Amino acid sequence: MQRITVAIDGPSGSGKSSVSKEAARRLNAAYLDTGAMYRAVTWHALDAGTDLADAAAVTAAVKAAELFISTDPDVERITIHGTDVTEAIREPFVSAAVSAVATNLQARAELVARQRAIINEHERIVAEGRDITTVVAPDADARILLTASEEARLRRRGLQLGGTQSAAELEAQVLARDAKDSTVVNFQVAADGVVTVDSSELDFEQTVATVLEAIKAQA
Ligand code: C5P
């Protein structure tokens, strides 16, 4: 089968993880959730009592991290220093803290290098995050920015979290995190050559189909 690397970026609540995973299945490709890597190192730093404001300590922890992430789209699993954190990294306290690690440029450089290595190990892979189309894999065969209106993103994240959050809590989690992340990576506007797919008015199946068409048109 032909080699293919697909890069997909987007803000939180754009549906990029579920859409990228399904696209990977249909392309018979591996799947890399780079956000999970940022979440895992954040979880570990918090667990170890590392001061997230101490950039040097965070960088050292990220460099030393023994990180394993499944690239099988049907097996969601991530471990750090042997601890399975697959579920723990989705906790709100991790979402609230992750930008502190993601805005540390040395920590980013380390994770970017590891992400490139994982991508290079696979003949066929769909990798998603915030800087895949621009930094991690700017030479990918297909590059897509998956966007959605603020309203659609808040609604989806609210549903994902079981509808228990207030509007203010959701805004803090989704919009405030995106605002912080945007200080170091641009995932709001498509870079040159990156195709934008706006999923605001599309359901899941339509979004997957549109993304697959955009991949086919580029690769
Ligand atoms: O995609 P997800 O919401 O799980 O990502 C969690 C966090 O990881 C983001 O809010 C961002 O801070 C960081 N991230 C990043 N670059 C990526 C993927 C995620 O900075 N490529």
Residue 131: CB within 6 Å of ligand 1?
Answer: yes
- Tokens coding 108: 């980013």
> If you write DSSP's letter for every residue of 24-57 in order, what string do you get?
HHHTT-EEEEHHHHHHHHHHHHHHTT--TT-HHH
- In terms of Cβ atoms closer than 10 Å to its own Cβ (0-12, 13-18, 19+), residue 185 is middle
Characterise 33 by phi-psi region: left (phi > 0), alpha (psi -120 to 50), beta (else): beta
pLDDT at 63: 97
pLDDT at 157: 85
| Crossing angle of the two packed helices 105-121 and 34-47, in degrees rounded to 10 | 130
User: Which residues are documented as binding site for ATP?
Assistant: 10-18
- Looking from the CA of residue 9, the nearest atom of ligand 1 is 21
- Looking from the CA of residue 128, the nearest atom of ligand 1 is 21
219 residues of the chain, pLDDT tens digit each: 799 999 999 998 899 999 999 999 999 999 999 999 999 999 999 999 999 999 999 999 999 999 999 999 999 999 999 999 999 999 989 999 999 999 999 999 999 999 999 999 999 999 999 999 999 999 999 999 999 999 999 998 888 888 788 888 888 878 888 888 888 898 888 999 999 999 999 999 999 999 999 999 998
Q: How far is residue 67's CA from residue 72's CA, in Å, rounded to a whole number?
A: 16
Interface predicted TM-score (ipTM) of this complex, two decimals = 0.98
Query: What is the pTM (predicted TM-score) of this model?
Result: 0.95
pLDDT at 60: 97
User: Which residues are documented as binding site?
Assistant: 10-18
- Looking from the CA of residue 131, the nearest atom of ligand 1 is 21
CA of 4 to the centre of ligand 1 (A): 23
Residue 153: CB within 6 Å of ligand 1?
Answer: no
- Tokens coding 109: 């450089």
pLDDT at 209: 98
In sign, the C-alpha dihedral spanning 165, 39, 149, 210 is: negative
